[in-house]
Amino acid sequence: MGKQVNKISEEKKGRRQYLRRLMHSMISFSGKPSALRLIVLALALSAAGASGSVSIDKISGEAFTDMGKIVRGNVHGAGAVEDDFLNRMGISLTAEDTVNGRLVVRVGVGGLFWQTYPLGDFWHNSIRFGPGINVASAKVLVSRNYAVEGGYFPFKYNSPAMNLGEYLIRSESYPTTLTTGGWTWVDSAYTRVLGVRLQASHFGGAFRHEAGIYAEMQNAPLFDLSPAYLFAWKPMRGLEIGGGVALRRWFQPNSGYTGIQGDEAAQAAGRYQAIGNFPEVQNHARVRYRYDNGSGMVEADTFVVWRGGTSFDAATALAAHPGATVTGMEMLQQGSAAGVRRDIQIFLQNTRYSPTGENCWDNPMSCQAYLDEEGNLRVTDANGNLIADTTVDPLLLENRRITRRAVNLMGRVTLDFAEAFELSGTGPFKLYMESAVLGVENQPVYYENIYNRIPVMLGVQVPTFGVLDLLAVEVEYLNNPNNDSPMMLTTHLSAPLPGPAMGIPDLDPADYNLPYYNAKSVHGDDWKWSVHAIRTVVPGLKFKVQVANDHLRLHRFGVSGPSLAPAPLTIEKSHWYYLAHLQWGF
């Protein structure tokens, strides 16, 4: 027994000596940035220990470089791009130690050399180095079947997924946005979370489940808390069924800072109201028509006003041209009879009346709001005309904020044909599917159709019989009519703005000047796909290729530091990119 203990001590002593030599060589290497030297030194001191009293069971290191091209795409701030080069390189070191067989501690740090995209002024164009923490967690093995883990760690539940999927935590519900990539471009179907979770397994590992609570660390508003429960069940060999539920952004400790109590104009865009004593609202429209002017049929258009609560009468509106035929109508204002009117508050405010009867959309200064920005409600007479300088308090029947809180559901299934049929030599051979409901609750105006929030991903790991370590093809469908973007009412994502704190879709600022919600119809990005291949060249050296039209957002650099572009790189069916990832480590 004593010899065995001595042998283990010698092995750990050897690892510490090797680590010290490795760190010394990296720190003394000429040309390394000072930030990287400090990171490596910190890891060396924490892992090896100045007195040699801290042991390390496992130390791993990795370096990589990504090189590729945007074949066709669209970059926020730069518009359409073609054949643009992509490149970055990084390094990471991870130390793991098990204390007394019960406590597993993992610490990982790294750094990335990257360049902002799109390029801009000279201070945008330089190559930047960003240090970071990959993992900092501790797991207590309570028993053989139970463990508690806390800290900062990768969160992944759908093991076959390479790029798409993993919807439960890394997607947003209101507004509905999906995410791939980030600081990691290739093989990135996971997210990193700050939180704590309880994990358990039963029936020899056939049933696993976990419950945890996680802080938002990727997208504003930061530090919202999301409790989640997941399970995975293997009823038979080769079949795994999984599912989960997350109370996404259920607790919002930072809501005041992120603007929920901020800009009133922004609040009006995220507040649904039903007002019981709303005055009569006129219908405004631009009507297109054809008529015979005596020399033949001609096309014309005119501005038409008629009372709210009544139908459009073409004969009256076009009385000057008997026999005219209406060919089209553009509603400029949706009218209503006096009484209850419901809408997003900003569209109630922008319901307009022109006292002179002219087209106030050609001359906005002639328009008056029925509901002003102070919440005062105008009064109309029996003919639907505004009474000058007369207001009343609105009778609020409903006053509801469009919230980012969501109940997300997820289900998945994996068929491992190689395992089920004991197929040797095929390599990975799996069919996997994942779907989610990103917000089970419909919200007024913006989110009235639950089917617009149900992404479906289907993937297959194609057998290559040893030619490749892995070949995976994934496709995804989401019938979301809004932009796949969290930008909303802001043009400056780095500030504590109301936009990122609001559960509203990304609309063009001009849309908020309309008298009604101009529902989007963005469907060029409904289908996504990704192809992923891995080949081990020699032990410790891997080559990966990713070709995709997905939700990858590139980092830019502003006055407040780096931030993800609000819109994906590929937003149309014809857009795609490719990346080659070379990875080496020990």
Q: How far apart are CA 462 and CA 50, in angstroms?
A: 49
- pLDDT top residue among 478 and 269: 478
Q: Which of 507, 570, 515, 576 is nearest to 546 (CA)?
A: 576
Give the mean pLDDT of 522-537.
Answer: 95
338: pLDDT strictly greater than 50? yes
CB atoms within 10 A of CB 386: 19
Look at 22-31, 366-375, 430-439 and tell me which has the smallest mean pLDDT: 22-31
| Residue 48 neighbours by CB distance under 10 Å | 23
Nearest CA to 357 out of 301, 305, 308 is that of: 305
Is residue 118 scored above 50 in pLDDT? yes
For the segment 20-40, the average pLDDT, to the nearest whole number, is: 42
For residues 116 and 545, what is the distance between their CA atoms, to the nearest angstrom?
Answer: 22
Average pLDDT score over residue span 486-515 = 62
Inform me whether the pLDDT recorded for 478 exceeds 60.
Answer: yes
The alpha helices in 101-229, defined as continuous H runs, are 122-125, 167-170
The predicted structure's pLDDT at residue 354: 60
The mean pLDDT of 463-470, rounded to a whole number, is 95
Question: Tokens 């009385």, residue?
Answer: 319
Model confidence at 385: pLDDT above 90: no
Q: What is the pLDDT of residue 417?
A: 96
Q: What is the pLDDT of residue 54?
A: 52
Q: What is the mean pLDDT of the chain?
A: 83
Number of DSSP helices (H) and strands (E) in the chain, helices first? 9, 28
Amino acid 323: pLDDT: 87
**pLDDT (average), residues 349-355:** 69
Max mean pLDDT range (96-110, 209-223, 482-496): 96-110
pLDDT band at 381 (very low <50, low <70, confident <90, very high): confident
**CA–CA gap between residue 54 and residue 47 (Å, rounded):** 7
Contact 141, 103 (CB under 8 A): yes
Higher model confidence: residue 12 or residue 517? 517
Please report which confidence band the pLDDT of residue 303 belongs to, taking 50, 70 and 90 as the band edges.
confident
Q: Which tokens sit at 540?
A: 């410790």
Q: Using 50, 70 and 90 to split pLDDT, how confident is the model at 309? A: confident
Is pLDDT larger for residue 465 or for residue 4?
465
* Domain ranges within the chain, ordered by starting residue: 1-56, 57-259+403-585, 271-401
Handedness of CA 357, 358, 360, 361 (dihedral sign): positive
Query: Is the pLDDT confidence value at 364 over 80?
Result: no
Could you read off the pLDDT of 40-50 as tens digits, one per residue? Answer: 444 444 444 43
Residue 162 has pLDDT above 50, yes or no: yes
Please check the confidence at residue 238 and state whether its pLDDT lies above 80.
Answer: yes
Euclidean distance between CA atoms 142 and 470, whole angstroms: 35
- Decide yes or no: CATH 2.40.160.10 for domain 57-259+403-585: yes
The arrangement of strands across the sheet holding 271-278 comes to: 339-344, 271-278, 396-401
Residues 153 and 118 sit within 8 Å (Cβ to Cβ): no
Measured CA distances, 273 to 344, 374, 375, 503, 540 (Å):
6, 14, 11, 16, 60
The reported pLDDT for the residue numbered 37 is 45
- Concatenating the DSSP letter of every residue in 210-226 gives EEEEEE--SSSSTT-EE
On the question of pLDDT at 357 being above 70, the answer is no
3-class secondary-structure state, position 404: coil
- Reply yes or no on whether the pLDDT at 2 is more than 50: no
Helix 2-28 / helix 34-48 crossing angle, nearest 10 deg? 170
